[in-house]
Amino acid sequence: MGLPEIIELAFDYRGDVTIVRTDGAEITGYLFNRREDASGGSVQLFATESGAQVSLPYSAIAAVRFTGRDAARTEHFDSFQQRRSERGGSD
Amino acid sequence: MAVPASQAWTVASYVLKQRLRRRERYPLVLMLEPLLRCNLACAGCGKIQYPPHVLKRALTVQQCLDAVEECGAPIVSIPGGEPLLYPHIGELVDALVARKKYVYLCTNALLLREKLDAGLFTPSKRLSFSVHMDGLREDHDASVCRNGVYDIAVEAIREALRRGFRVTTNTTLFDSSEPLRVREFFDEMMDLGVEGMMVSPGYSYQKAPDQESFLARERTTALFSQVLANKKRRWRFNQSPLFLQFLMGKQAFECTPWGNPLYTIFGWQRPCYLLQDGYAPTFRELMEETPWELYGRDSGNPQCRDCMVHSGYEPTAVHAAFSTWSGFKDAAAAAISGKL
């Protein structure tokens, strides 16, 4: 899988990712945007620790790791339904 | 009429101006989300599933006002997240009203009574609380995954009305919705005294916890045909009758994804309120650089195939009423007769 495909997965992911830069440095945050353009493309993320908005060109990215919990994989609905049925409709 | 005459006139004159300027694409309602945090976690909602540090973020009031200025739409809807969790919500609403915008503050009403008691808002013809109500008590509490929410919302609605505020309701229908219960719910909301109701099928958010209750298009038209058949005259809807006819399968519309653009902490969402294909830094870039031909039912985009949500089709309905003779005729007939 190439870098653009991995970035697409990271963009769709509702958890934090850790980006390993080509210079070896790492940054962890929520990747909320990506855009490909003539210069090759870039990503935007909100850094977890500092809260800063960071922009990185694809050319500066060596790897992307999915390090945070996926917030979209929630048990809330299932547990509510189960609780509700166990208590005969009362929460 | 469910909308005050001044608001109807503002919208009508705005749309006619766009037509005279021959603008092919223009926004009608700005969806402004100052934060994504919510105090509920509804089964059919895919808008709040983010890491905690993202949910803690919020736009500044100035960022909100800049977006409003940039967009230029006459109506600003403030959904979320729960906008009453936004610490500057009173200041934001005051600023929007001062700019002569019509504001719909979409809320689950859990905090509404508290905010009213705190004197955060002033009644205005330009401010309406749009309270999330998905049905009768049991149906609504199941929809929001918490018992007791319906009763809190009803009490808050009563209090807001007592204080002279405009109050509307917004309702999302799902596959489990029962037509007779929905009709009973409409009666209940009218008895409560709300100004009007808004209703829409749910969008099949990929990130929503419950993936089994979203409506396919045929099921949507069948459900709304049953719900709105022999529409009672006392039911007032705060939306275009042509949109309701579309939900019943009586109008054939294409989506207008730019009609209700969304501005959030991430920027201007492409292409619409529901799909997240990326973010533009400016409204101009959103409008000019989004490949609109890739969206809408006619595009064949599978994500748009079953969508009949108000954010994409209500602007189409409003545009149709002002741009086609048949649209004008149908809208006028519905307004006069009260029938759909």
Interface of A with B (CB under 8 A): 11, 14-16, 30, 32-35, 44, 46, 48, 51, 68-69, 71-72, 74, 76-78, 80, 84, 89-91
Question: Please, which pLDDT band fits residue A82 given cuts at 50, 70 and 90?
Answer: low
- How far apart are the CA of A57 and the nearest CA of chain B, in angstroms? 16
Look at residue B47 in the predicted model and tell me its pLDDT: 84
Which residues of B fall within a CB distance of 8 Å from A89? 138
Is B260 buried (19+), middle (13-18) or exposed (0-12) by CB count in 10 A? Answer: buried
Q: Which of B311, B105, B316, B41 is nearest to B202 (CA)?
A: B311
What is the per-residue pLDDT across B143-177, written as a single tens digit (0 to 9) for each? 999 999 999 999 999 999 999 999 999 999 988 89
Across chain B, mean pLDDT equals 94
Higher pLDDT, B80 or B6: B6
Q: ipTM exceeding 0.85?
A: yes
A15:B51 CB<8 A: yes
What is the per-residue pLDDT across A25-52, written as a single tens digit (0 to 9) for each? 999 999 999 998 888 899 999 999 999 9
Instruction: Give dist(CA A17, CA A14) in Å, integer.
Output: 9
A-B C-beta contacts closer than 8 Å: 59
Can you give the pTM of this predicted structure? 0.92
A16:B46 CB<8 A: no
What is the per-residue pLDDT across B32-60, written as a single tens digit (0 to 9) for each? 999 999 999 888 888 889 999 999 999 99
Instruction: Give dist(CA B39, CA B60) in Å, integer.
Output: 20
Question: Please, which pLDDT band fits residue A74 given cuts at 50, 70 and 90?
Answer: low
What is the per-residue pLDDT across B197-248, written as a single tens digit (0 to 9) for each? 999 998 876 677 776 777 788 889 999 999 999 999 999 999 999 999 999 9
Is B159 buried (19+), middle (13-18) or exposed (0-12) by CB count in 10 A? Answer: middle
Q: Which residue of A has its CA nearest to B276?
A: A12
What is the per-residue pLDDT across B78-126, written as a single tens digit (0 to 9) for each? 998 999 999 999 999 999 999 999 999 999 999 999 999 999 999 999 9
Look at residue A90 in the predicted model and tell me its pLDDT: 44
> Where are any strands of DSSP class E within chain A?
17-21, 26-35, 42-47, 53-57, 61-65
Q: Which residue of A has its CA nearest to B209?
A: A77
Q: Which chain B residues in 134-163 lie under 8 Å from chain A, judged by CB atoms?
A: 138, 141-142, 145-148
